[in-house]
Structure 1
Amino acid sequence: MKEIVLNDGNKLPIIGFGTYKSTKKEGIQSIKNALNIGYRMFDTAAKYDNEKEVGKAINESGIDRKEIIITTKLWRENLGYEETKKAFNISLKKLGLDYIDLYLIHWPANAKNYKDWKKTNADSWRAMEELQADGKITSIGVSNFWQEHLEALFQTANVIPAINQIEFHPGYWQSELVTFCKKNIIAVESWSPLARGKVFGNELLQSIARQHNKSVAQICLRWITQHETIVIPKSNTLKRIEDNINIFDFKLSEAEMKQINELPEMGFSGELPNNWPEVLDVKN
């Protein structure tokens, strides 16, 4: 499988496995199925409340830990230097691991929730840099950061984020942000690659799928990877787990890529980094 080389020299497969809402027995089994099929990168988060399940599936798989890449994320209500270290250790314990391959700030602090959002992000990042230096994290990155959040972080960071995980799918792929990230050698990773299911009813995508004898999902995932963007589809259905990784026996033409690029807004989650819900007390 194609790999993306990060700015720290580490490599990630261009397709991983998302675990959002994968909990309990069904979630554990889907991760085991994915491992058996050939997935080696798994994405979770403290907020998903399934780190124990992900860790259990990994530990029970019998596959060498060194072959598996685990991503988890720092939740936006636990930002700050001490808070970050505490949250990281909780995630590490729940996963049952000695180290985490990729640790991300899930959402940036914003002015609604923190008196000094720039300092809060910087303090969180400093803690992550120290954890990385201590060998507890292999690569560090961010999620849902816009250009303004990245530029602010650059002012104090000793380590440039290796990755920015963002909403990226046909109908909403944040092309200007993607260009900025790539200019700064920050890899881009797609969440919600199938636009919460909205892609399946799109006539253009259906037409392109017929031409290639592929599913709409496979067309979307191939489009994302042809943008040199990592993708982490999720499914609990064995057939879909298999289909999602089998997208490298065809290629979309430049014309097809352009057509998909230009689709009107579709399936946008509505989640924006500067508008996440207000808390009762603005944090320091």
Structure 2
Amino acid sequence: MDDRNQLPSTAQVNMSDTSVLYCPTVPLSNGLQIPIFGLGTSHFGGYSHDAIVYALTECGVRHIDTAKRYGCEEKLGQALRESGIPRMDLWVTDKLWPGDYGYEAAKKACIDSCSQMGVKYFDLFLMHWPGSMRPGCSNREVRAETWRALEELYEEGVCRAIGVSNFLVHHLEQLKEDCGVVPHVNQVEYHPFQQPNKLKEYCQQEGIVFEGYSPLAKGQVLSNPTVLQIAEKYRRTPAQICIRWSIQNGVVTIPKSVKEKRIKENCQVFGFQLEELDMATLGSLHDERHVTWDPTDVE
């Protein structure tokens, strides 16, 4: 039997304040289960070999998110192998940079990324951005051509699921019109200050799993008086409150950190639940700010 279909329904998370809890999973439209909590990696100091191994071996993290753009695929592959965790027990997401958009380029880039990481397949492979870098062609045309390549990679088993990142409703609508497979996932910026709820609702209606990055708004939420007040109430850290809020909203959440202490802290979000009033209070903090890329003007 193909072991790619044997992803456990839960991923263990070791907790210091409880014994062992389990990370829930979210079903994709193709029947796979993605862990609702993951660890993000990035460039500009956002990668640490020791932190990845610690997250996997000591914290029970089983969901790792990366991208070619981050320049750490090879190092990440080494950390995955050093952890000793069987590949079938991991969920690995990678992303295709717009410089590799287009049918042939996309297929080659995905295979090359697999080779760099030393894996035979990705659990999830995303188009990183709705804009293209090809002069003389519309973004829509390039997106459709690239997506057809991802559809083939999906059919061939190189990618167990395929999706997009930073796509808005009109990007998704066009892709649905132009191609055959609806994205399994849309990964976008999501935190109390940036709550694209109409996009989230659209994804839910279309069977697209909504995944959020930058759940701490690059640290900006950690000093917010409302977040601090709620954190004091639950005797939790501001980071734990915001990650819990995201997860409790049903969002697949991928905080980043290269510090073992922070990674452990971020994992400890399954032993408590926010009350409805506090969920609503955090939901009222939306002010439309972006702390990363804003795709609003991409046609």
Q: Deviations over 1:226-278 (max 9, x none)?
A: 110001111121121111111111111111111111114275225222547xx
**2:56 alignment partner, one of 35, 40, 44:** 35
1:136-175 matches, within 5 Å, as 136-175=158-197
Q: Conserved in 2, the CA contact under 8 Å of 1:84 and 1:127?
A: yes
Q: Conserved in 2, the CA contact under 8 Å of 1:198 and 1:266?
A: no
Q: Deviations over 1:91-115 (max 9, x none)?
A: 1111111111100000012699562
Q: Secondary structure at the match of 1:247?
A: coil
Cα separation, 2, equivalents of 1:113 and 1:253: 50
Cα separation, 1, equivalents of 2:270 and 2:114: 34
What letter corresponds to residue 157 of structure 1 in structure 2? C
Q: Conserved in 2, the CA contact under 8 Å of 1:181 and 1:187?
A: yes
TM-score, normalising length: structure 2: 0.88
Comparing 45-54 with 259-268, greater Cα deviation is found at 259-268
Q: Secondary structure at the match of 1:115?
A: coil
Q: Residue 158 of structure 1: CA displacement? A: 1.6
* C-alpha RMSD of the superposition: 1.8
Task: From the superposition, tell whether residues 194 and 100 of structure 1 become closer, same or farther in structure 2 (CA, over 3 Å).
Answer: same
Cα separation, 2, equivalents of 1:84 and 1:112: 13
1:248 paired with 2:256, answer no
Cα separation, 2, equivalents of 1:273 and 1:85: 24
What letter corresponds to residue 173 of structure 1 in structure 2? Q
Q: Conserved in 2, the CA contact under 8 Å of 1:200 and 1:217?
A: yes
Task: From the superposition, tell whether residues 181 and 217 of structure 1 become closer, same or farther in structure 2 (CA, over 3 Å).
Answer: same
Q: Secondary structure at the match of 1:206?
A: helix
Tell me the matched-pair count: 275
TM-score, normalising length: structure 1: 0.92
Partner of residue 238, structure 2: 216
Q: Conserved in 2, the CA contact under 8 Å of 1:170 and 1:266?
A: no
Task: From the superposition, tell whether residues 39 and 111 of structure 1 become closer, same or farther in structure 2 (CA, over 3 Å).
Answer: closer
Q: Conserved in 1, the CA contact under 8 Å of 2:243 and 2:266?
A: yes
Unaligned 5+ segments in structure 2 are: 1-22
Q: Conserved in 2, the CA contact under 8 Å of 1:79 and 1:109?
A: no
Task: From the superposition, tell whether residues 134 and 174 of structure 1 become closer, same or farther in structure 2 (CA, over 3 Å).
Answer: same
Task: From the superposition, tell whether residues 95 and 260 of structure 1 become closer, same or farther in structure 2 (CA, over 3 Å).
Answer: same
Q: Residue 5 of structure 1: CA displacement? A: 0.4
Q: Conserved in 2, the CA contact under 8 Å of 1:111 and 1:274?
A: no
Comparing 187-196 with 234-243, greater Cα deviation is found at 234-243
Partner of residue 6, structure 2: none
Cα separation, 2, equivalents of 1:136 and 1:114: 30
Cα separation, 2, equivalents of 1:204 and 1:84: 44
Partner of residue 194, structure 1: 216
Task: From the superposition, tell whether residues 87 and 112 of structure 1 become closer, same or farther in structure 2 (CA, over 3 Å).
Answer: closer
Q: Residue 122 of structure 1: CA displacement? A: 0.9
Unaligned 5+ segments in structure 1 are: 277-284
Partner of residue 180, structure 1: 202
Q: Conserved in 2, the CA contact under 8 Å of 1:206 and 1:216?
A: yes
Q: Deviations over 1:71-104 (max 9, x none)?
A: 0000012211111112112211111111111000
Q: Residue 157 of structure 1: CA displacement? A: 2.0
Partner of residue 109, structure 2: 87
Cα separation, 1, equivalents of 2:292 and 2:65: 21
